[in-house]
Homo-oligomer: A and B are copies of this chain.
Amino acid sequence: MRMTIDARHPRAIRHDIRAGRLRRTTAGLGQNFVQTNLAVLPRAQAYDFLLFCQRNPKPCPLIEVCDEGSPEPGGVAPGADLRTDIGAYRIYRDGELAAEVDDIRPYWRDDLVAFLLGCSFTFEWALLDAGVRLWHVEHGKGVAMFRTSIACRAAGVFHGPTVVSMRPIRSSDLVKAVGASARFPGAHGAPVHIGDPAQIGIADVMRPDYGDAQHFEPGDVPMFWACGVTPQAVALASKPPLMITHSPGHMFITDLPNAALAVL
């Protein structure tokens, strides 16, 4: 199975999403552009969250933090509106899912701060570009995600374990896979672990906590990257009065080419 590719500029894609004409997940949309996780929190929680991201850049690579009350990510998509330009949102009250909607204008307040965090699509693009094969892409599945024994560094009210994504990588591709992803610290960067899952507290690599189980061919090695589920899980565990996120798979597509995130 192969992904459908929509090669238009992100502005055109966001326009369709805003107008309600495009409802699918964003895998394969805006193929060469940075897609991001969304987290919206009240200003009262925003300092601790910003500090948490600064202290845990691998799971929480900040791509953009909007001005208080502004839904426009001016640094990465001028003119976009984060209240309408994502296909599906989740509203959490006191850490509990309260609603799933396609427009958060009714929930918007002047004290909300929108955070955009880098996403694995960028480094997967880099891996594929480097010739590294990814089973879940070839088979139209999600990655496998696991809670680990790697503690995040706490910041104020936020603390919890690092969540990782896992991909089986051919042993002959391990070096390429490290190098290609390390160039993108804005999209989780280099892996956090290669090999034995038990060393990072994963009991059974075939039973993910989130996402889809992967398939291993002989010689494949599990490779683990910090995952954007981490900040969302950590934030919700602190039960903020209000938190808004994208729905799984419905990322925000920026105007930033993936290649622009490379450090070298």
Contacts and interface: CB of A to CB of B under 8 A. Distances in A.
A159 to B, nearest CB: 12
A165 to B, nearest CB: 19
Interface bracket on A: 20 to 34
A51 B50 contact: yes
Interface string A230-259: 000000000000000000000000000000
A47 interface: yes
A62 interface: yes
A161 interface: no
Contacts of A50: 47, 50-51, 54
Contact of A65 (B51, B62, B182, B189): B51
A74 B51 CA distance: 14
Nearest to A51: B65
A153 to B, nearest CB: 6
A contact face: mostly helix, strand, loop, or mixed:
mixed
B55 A75 contact: yes
Nearest to A264: B182
A193 interface: no
Contacts of A10: none
Given A54-B50, A54-B54, A65-B55, A263 B189 contact: yes
Contacts of A155: 67
A95 interface: no
Nearest to A183: B264
A55 B55 CA distance: 15
A65 B62 CA distance: 16
A164 B50 CA distance: 26
Interface string A152-195: 01011000000000000000000000010011010001100000
22 contacts: A46-B47, A47-B47, A47-B50, A50-B50, A50-B51, A51-B65, A54-B54, A54-B62, A54-B65, A55-B65, A55-B75, A67-B155, A75-B153, A179-B264, A182-B263, A182-B264, A183-B263, A185-B263, A189-B263, A190-B264, A263-B264, A264-B264
Given A46-B47, A67-B156, A264-B264, 11 more contacts: A47-B47, A47-B50, A50-B51, A51-B65, A54-B62, A54-B65, A55-B75, A182-B263, A182-B264, A183-B263, A185-B185
